[in-house]
Each structure stands twice: as structure tokens, then as C-alpha cells.
């Protein structure tokens, strides 16, 4: 019997790209069930959930199975994961070394394994172009576990991207811990995106996230020149208060952040902007939080990924005075999520009456598919009764938006 592979990824798109690549390198041979859990340590809750999923996988697989553990949390606290169960193996080193360790543990041969299907299989391919970060924000543990910035070679990335498109992926998501730091022998992010845009058969190109300081006229001009770049930017804010931003070490103030968003909107008409915010950073008082609410709304941000602050080992913020009580963090997080929901609904309500290009992902029922627009709006798409265009996963279709639900836009295929 062949190994049955199962994968669960917590955290960012880089973690997903790493896990997918690891599974591609794992050989296939006879043996018991195997689970791969890619862990996250950005917050204490992420680390807690990582341990939960490892324990759950261990119990589900039993003594005949093996749980392979990778990702940031297992790098930060490897022994805490080893101690969870006897069938847990923590993989160390880079992807190649982790694959060699896994192959040794599983006593496998050399034939490549098949990657299990995922919700975005054959739709979005996460192209990891860069790893590591040197910003050392006061709250962030990632430089400890990911190291200094390293960029993957341009030619190797172009080969990987072309191969993914040949395998049927119509969209590439360019991902990295700090993707704006990409640089291979003088070729920066703009140059990489220009080369990727020319890959035959690629329908859509997207950035996973970009720091405000990396939104430059040169980059924006390249994005505008690309005929396939998705009009969506995820730009982490973290706080809308200048005092908090300075203490975080974020290297911009609220004025500069807003200016970069306006620069993006002036060059990329219709661009949709989403963000990350940390709530309850040490010293954040009610006025500082209100400043964040005000900036999020004024900047017309349509979705906020809300992170309640948690102390991370070895970070400067962990020992800062003015730690915010958990009940206040929860209350402020709820208020920010309510604002995010309201702004997202307002964004979706601007869609009916117009058309959007939707990359279909999967069928939710016969004749009805779900998918994403270029600006990262969720659509539920019906096949028109009198339309010869048949929806299918991985297909890019033009959709007329008809109505709005609590979390999506409804529409019908036009072409």
C-alpha cells in the first residue's frame, strides 16, 4: 500500500508554498499514513493551533502513521512539538534537507509523491520568490525563525512558474516573507514581475502582500503595464497611530502610508486594498486605537486581517511596559472586525450592474461555481440558461454581477 499523504497548513502563503514544495520532494513508497502539518508562530494563538493540529493528526493516524511537522512554530520551539507524541517528527533545515529527513524516517525510495488536492489546486500557484526579513519589527518573531532575506534565482523562478502554468495553473501568486526585498543580481521585484507577465498561458498574476515603503512609482508602472496583474494589493498597516508605529519600528507614519495607497490608486485605477492590523500593542490607548479605525476607513481599505497582540519570545515588545489587558484586546478586535465587515460590504455593493473577470475555483452545486475577481472579491457564479459558455474550475470568465450576499457577490456568466 502507498503512503496516504495529508496536509494541513497554518499561517501565511509562504508556509503553504514551502509545504507544497516539500510534498513534491517526498518520495512515494509502501507504508502507513502520513500527515504534514506546517506550523505558524506569528501569534501565540497560531502556535497553540499548530500544536492542536499536530495532536489531532497524531491521534487520527495512530501508531502506524507518521506526523511530519515543519514551519515557523516548530523552528521556534522544536522540542515542544516532539514531546506531543511518539509518532511526531520535526523536520529541520531548508526544504531539501527536510525532504531528506522525511525520506529517511519513512524509509522511502526516490519516486516523487503526488501532492494532495487542495481547494486552489489547478487555480492558484504560490510562487515563493524570497524568504527571510531584516526589518526586526519590535513585535515580530519571524526574523528569528526565517533568518535574513534571501532571494531565489530569477531563472529558476521563471522555470518553476512556466512549469506550473504548463500543469494547468492559470494564476501565479508571488509570495515571500518580505516580497519587496526581492533582488537577484540586480533584478528586483518589478523586473521579476515583468518577466513573469510574459509567460505563455498565464492568465493572472498577483502579489501576496507588499509593504507600503515598497510601493514605488517604478513598481506601480510595471504593474500597470502588465495586462494580467490582478488589481489587488495587500498592504500591512499594523497600526494607524504614529506613536505606536514608531515603537513598532515600522519605518513609516500614517501620512506616508496613506500617500502610498493614493499613489497606487492613481496608477492602478480600481485597485482594491486590504491590510493587516495588530490590536492591543503595548501602550496602545483608546485614542491610538481610534486613530487606527479612522485611517482604515479614510483609506477605503475593504478588509482587515485583525491580529490581537501577543507577546512573542525574544522580541522587544514582549518586555515593553503598558501591556494591554486581554479583555480590551478582544473588545477592540471586535470593533475593528465590525468596521472591516462594513467596509467589505460597501465594496461588494459597488459591483452589481457591472462586469468582472472571475477565475473559477470549484463547483458549490451543479451549475454554480465560486471564484475570485482580480481585485480579490469573492463571487458565486451561475451559468446563464441561454449561454453557451460552460463554467469550469480554472476557467476565466466574464460575469455580470447581480446581487450581494453577506460574504460574496452573485453573478451570471456573460462570456
DSSP of 322-363 = -PPPHHHHHHHHHHHHHHHHHHHHHHHHT-TTSEEEEEEEEE
pLDDT at 115: 40
Look at residues 338, 276, 337, 294 and name the one whose alpha carbon lies nearest to residue 139: 276
Here the cell at position 399 is 460575469
Look at residues 7, 29, 272 and name the one whose alpha carbon lies nearest to residue 121: 7
- Cβ atoms of 47 and 75 closer than 8 Å: no
d(CA 388, CA 198): 30
pLDDT at 112: 38
Answer yes or no: pTM beyond 0.85.
Answer: yes
pLDDT at 122: 66
pLDDT at 299: 97
d(CA 3, CA 12): 27
pLDDT at 147: 93
Length of the chain in terms of residues written: 415
- pLDDT tens, N- to C-terminus, the chain (415 residues): 345 578 999 999 999 999 999 988 877 655 678 899 999 999 999 999 999 999 999 999 998 899 999 999 999 999 999 999 999 999 999 888 999 998 888 764 333 344 444 444 569 999 999 999 999 999 999 999 999 999 999 999 999 999 999 999 999 999 999 999 999 999 999 999 999 999 999 999 999 999 999 999 999 999 999 999 999 999 999 999 999 999 999 999 999 999 999 999 999 999 999 999 999 999 999 999 999 999 999 999 999 999 999 999 999 999 999 999 999 999 999 999 999 999 999 999 999 999 999 999 999 988 899 999 999 999 999 987 666 677 788 999 999 999 999 999 999 999 8
- Provide CB contacts within 8 A for 312, sequence distance 6+: 41, 43, 44, 139, 140, 141, 318
pLDDT at 1: 36
249: enclosing H helix or E strand: none
pLDDT at 107: 65
Give the start-end residues of each E strand in 132-219: 150-151, 171-176, 183-184, 187-188, 204-207
CB-based burial, 127-166: b 16+ in 10 Å, e otherwise: bbbbbbbebebbbbbbbbbbeebbbbebeebbebbbebbe
pLDDT at 108: 47
d(CA 214, CA 261): 11
Amino acid at each position: 500500500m502507498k503512503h496516504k499523504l495529508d496536509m494541513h497548513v497554518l499561517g501565511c502563503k509562504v508556509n503553504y508554498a514551502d509545504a507544497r514544495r516539500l510534498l513534491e520532494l517526498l518520495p512515494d513508497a509502501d507504508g502507513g499514513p502520513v500527515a504534514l502539518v506546517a506550523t505558524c508562530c506569528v501569534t501565540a494563538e497560531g502556535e497553540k493551533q499548530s500544536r492542536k493540529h499536530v495532536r489531532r493528526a497524531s491521534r487520527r493516524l495512530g501508531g502506524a502513521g507518521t506526523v511530519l511537522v515543519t514551519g515557523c512554530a516548530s523552528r521556534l520551539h522544536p522540542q515542544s512539538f516532539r514531546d506531543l507524541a511518539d509518532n511526531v517528527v520535526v523536520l529541520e533545515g531548508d526544504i531539501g534537507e527536510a525532504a531528506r529527513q522525511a525520506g529517511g524516517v519513512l524509509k522511502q525510495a526516490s519516486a516523487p509523491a503526488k501532492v494532495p488536492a487542495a481547494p486552489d489546486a489547478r487555480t492558484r500557484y504560490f510562487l515563493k520568490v524570497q524568504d527571510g526579513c531584516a526589518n526586526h519589527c519590535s513585535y515580530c518573531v519571524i526574523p528569528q525563525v526565517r533568518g535574513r532575506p534571501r532571494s531565489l534565482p530569477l531563472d529558476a523562478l521563471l522555470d518553476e512558474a512556466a512549469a506550473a502554468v504548463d500543469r494547468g495553473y492559470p494564476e501565479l501568486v508571488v509570495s515571500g516573507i518580505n516580497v519587496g526585498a526581492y533582488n537577484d543580481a540586480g533584478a528586483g521585484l518589478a523586473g521579476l514581475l515583468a518577466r513573469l507577465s510574459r509567460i505563455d498561458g498565464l492568465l493572472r498574476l498577483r502579489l501576496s502582500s507588499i509593504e507600503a515603503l515598497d510601493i514605488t512609482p517604478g513598481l506601480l508602472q510595471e504593474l500597470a503595464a502588465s495586462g494580467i496583474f490582478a488589481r489587488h494589493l495587500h498592504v500591512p498597516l499594523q497600526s494607524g497611530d504614529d506613536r505606536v508605529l514608531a515603537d513598532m519600528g515600522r519605518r513609516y507614519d500614517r501620512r506616508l502610508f496613506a500617500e502610498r495607497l493614493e499613489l497606487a490608486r492613481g496608477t492602478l485605477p480600481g485597485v482594491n486594498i486590504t491590510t493587516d492590523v495588530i490590536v492591543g500593542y503595548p501602550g496602545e490607548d483608546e485614542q491610538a486605537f481610534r486613530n487606527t479605525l479612522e485611517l482604515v476607513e479614510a483609506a477605503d481599505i475593504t478588509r482587515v486581517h485583525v491580529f490581537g497582540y501577543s507577546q512573542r519570545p525574544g522580541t522587544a515588545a514582549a518586555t515593553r511596559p503598558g501591556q494591554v489587558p486581554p479583555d480590551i484586546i478582544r473588545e477592540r478586535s471586535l470593533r475593528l472586525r465590525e468596521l472591516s465587515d462594513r467596509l467589505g460590504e460597501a465594496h461588494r455593493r459597488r459591483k452589481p450592474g457591472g462586469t468582472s473577470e472571475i477565475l473559477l475555483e470549484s463547483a458549490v452545486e451543479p451549475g454554480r461555481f465560486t471564484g475570485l475577481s482580480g481585485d480579490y472579491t469573492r463571487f458565486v457564479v451561475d451559468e446563464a440558461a441561454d449561454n453557451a459558455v460552460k463554467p469550469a474550475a480554472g476557467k476565466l470568465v466574464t460575469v455580470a454581477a447581480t446581487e450581494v450576499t453577506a460574504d460574496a457577490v452573485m453573478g451570471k456568466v456573460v462570456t
